[in-house]
């Protein structure tokens, strides 16, 4: 009697780079691949295909992506599964789709941002190799337009207690240093119903932290109202399905969990948004709001749609309206035309406003961006010096703010048995709380802060 042997499922190895938005893209493409019978493997040498999910935002990210591609190719030439295919996806693939197959002949296929929704059939075509043409398989939509829904299959890549939820895609802002609108298209929001259904499923599965992401979360829903109002009608955010309404709907979901707001833009904050955070205890008292600079000359050159007065008034309103607020921001140094007086103005602002979380980036000259053509490009050495000086200022502020937490009791979400995060700390980018004794991972714990470790805190778990 003969038996039918069931073939082993084909395996996909993943190397995902870049931001949380890119991570969600990776989860979606793996979800579709799983529907087609593929399995994710962490051992890339055993994979039938290896996907490098790239970032193409700034030069260091592009360099990291290229190095990851070359390293993946080197590994498959030295002991990987015979016939393994190398695939490049993500922002770099979308941005340079017409050139990469020539510049990177090692790569077998390139996948665009919109193609993540059909990744399974993409891998089928590549691995079955039934194509008549030679050369790399390139499938990149000219203009990105895809947005996921609540029932879009995903393979979660985060820890079981935390998740990223993409509430919108694309960007309408004209920032002169940025090419994201070219890569990811115009802003397009999901409906409130779609986001709520996804979050309900995540909370039911045990997720304790919902991180809301998009290119600009504060623009959420405004495009939907524009469609209803018509092109000649003013956009009234209070009447549209905007972020305040979404936060209210999410906070009404039963369960103990945090809702965290990432990637906001200062141009679209409103008193309604501030009030929505203040009235909903489940919404973390945490705002990620990249400001990029503070001097009006720089803000104008960056086309940030704000000025210093607007930013300072907004911060005052946020701090007054949301007690205990943690603000995370980022700044760019070395932007074209940045004089010493502009940089000194930035340092003065940092010292005056004392942001709880702050990062500094050197300006990256991106081809196809407006800023790339601006006069007054800054020498690399000057950028590095300004970066170092700004970070030294922030290190001193952060150390002082950390010391002020000693003796306080607070709620902490444990990422592992040894450390966790406060309400004021987003995953991967912010500080940690180190426990003096092991706790249960993936749960909330009441702790007392007993000391500091640089940016981080030490805490004694309390009996709940």
Task: Find the radius of gyration of the CA atoms of the chain.
Answer: 23
pLDDT score, position 135 = 78
Residue for token digits 């940016």? 455
pLDDT tens string, the chain, 464 residues long: the values are 455 556 788 999 999 998 899 999 999 999 999 999 999 998 999 999 999 999 877 788 889 999 999 999 999 888 888 999 999 999 989 988 778 878 889 999 999 999 999 999 999 999 987 655 667 899 998 888 999 999 999 999 999 999 999 999 999 999 999 988 888 889 999 999 999 999 999 999 999 999 999 999 999 998 876 555 444 344 444 445 799 999 999 999 999 999 999 999 999 999 999 999 999 999 999 999 999 999 999 999 999 999 999 999 999 999 999 999 999 999 999 999 999 999 999 999 999 999 999 999 999 998 889 999 999 999 999 999 999 999 999 999 999 999 999 999 999 999 999 999 999 999 999 999 999 999 999 999 999 999 999 889 999 999 75
Dihedral sign for Cα atoms in the order 83, 45, 38, 123: negative
pTM higher than 0.85, yes or no?
yes
Specify the pLDDT at position 233. Answer: 43
d(CA 375, CA 336): 6
How far apart are alpha carbons 152 and 28 in whole angstroms?
7
Distances (CA, A) of 423 to 233, 415, 430: 39, 13, 11
pLDDT of 247: 97
- The span from the CA of 28 to the CA of 197, in Å, is 17
Residue-by-residue DSSP string for 382-445? HHHHHHHHHHHHHHHHHHHHHHTTTT-EEEEEESSSSEEEETT--TTTS--EEESS---TTSEE
Q: Which domains does the chain have, with CATH numbers?
A: 11-139 (3.40.50.12160), 162-398 (3.80.30.20), 409-461 (2.40.50.140)
Q: Give 381-431 pLDDT, tens digit per residue.
A: 999 999 999 999 999 999 999 999 999 999 999 999 999 999 999 999 999
């Amino acid at each position: 009697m003969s038996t039918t042997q069931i073939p082993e499922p084909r395996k996909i190895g993943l190397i995902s780079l870049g931001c949380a938005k890119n991570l969600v893209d990776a989860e979606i493409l793996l979800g579709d691949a799983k529907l087609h019978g593929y399995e994710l493997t962490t051992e890339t040498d055993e994979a039938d295909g290896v996907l490098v999910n790239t970032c193409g935002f700034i030069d260091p990210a592009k360099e990291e992506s290229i190095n990851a591609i070359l390293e993946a190719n080197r590994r498959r030439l030295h002991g990987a599964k015979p016939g393994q295919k190398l695939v490049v996806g993500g922002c770099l693939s979308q941005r340079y789709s017409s050139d990469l197959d020539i510049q990177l002949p090692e790569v077998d296929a390139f996948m665009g941002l919109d193609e993540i929704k059909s990744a399974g059939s993409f891998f089928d075509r590549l691995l079955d190799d039934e194509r008549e043409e030679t050369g790399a398989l390139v499938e990149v939509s000219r203009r990105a337009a895809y947005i996921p829904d609540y029932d879009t299959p995903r393979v979660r890549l985060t820890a079981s207690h935390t998740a990223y939820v993409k509430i919108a895609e694309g960007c309408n802002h004209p920032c002169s240093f940025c090419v994201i609108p070219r890569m990811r298209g115009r802003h397009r929001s999901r409906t409130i119903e779609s986001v709520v259904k996804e979050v309900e499923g995540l909370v039911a599965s045990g997720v304790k932290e919902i991180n809301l992401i998009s290119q600009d979360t504060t623009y959420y829903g405004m495009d939907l109202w524009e469609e209803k109002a018509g092109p000649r009608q003013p956009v009234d955010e209070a009447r549209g399905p905007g972020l305040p309404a979404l936060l209210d709907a999410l906070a009404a979901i039963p369960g103990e969990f945090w809702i965290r707001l990432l990637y906001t833009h200062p141009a679209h904050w409103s008193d309604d948004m501030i009030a929505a955070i203040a009235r909903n205890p489940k919404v973390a008292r945490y705002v990620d709001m990249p400001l990029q600079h503070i001097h009006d000359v720089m803000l104008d050159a960056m086309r940030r749609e704000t000025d210093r007065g607007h930013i300072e008034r907004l911060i005052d309103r946020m701090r007054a309206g949301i007690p205990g607020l943690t603000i995370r921001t980022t700044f760019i140094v070395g932007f074209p035309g940045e004089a010493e007086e502009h940089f000194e103005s930035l340092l003065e602002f940092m010292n005056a406003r004392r942001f709880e979380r702050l990062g500094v980036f050197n300006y990256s000259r991106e081809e196809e961006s407006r800023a790339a053509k601006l006069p007054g490009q800054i020498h690399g050495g000057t950028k590095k010096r300004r970066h170092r000086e700004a970070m030294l200022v922030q290190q001193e502020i952060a150390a002082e703010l950390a010391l002020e937490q000693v003796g306080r009791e607070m709620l902490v979400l444990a990422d592992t048995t040894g450390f966790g995060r406060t309400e004021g700390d987003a995953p991967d980018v912010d500080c940690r709380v180190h426990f003096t004794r092991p706790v249960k991972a993936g749960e909330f714990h009441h702790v007392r802060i007993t000391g500091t470790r640089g940016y981080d805190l030490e805490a004694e778990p309390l009996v709940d």
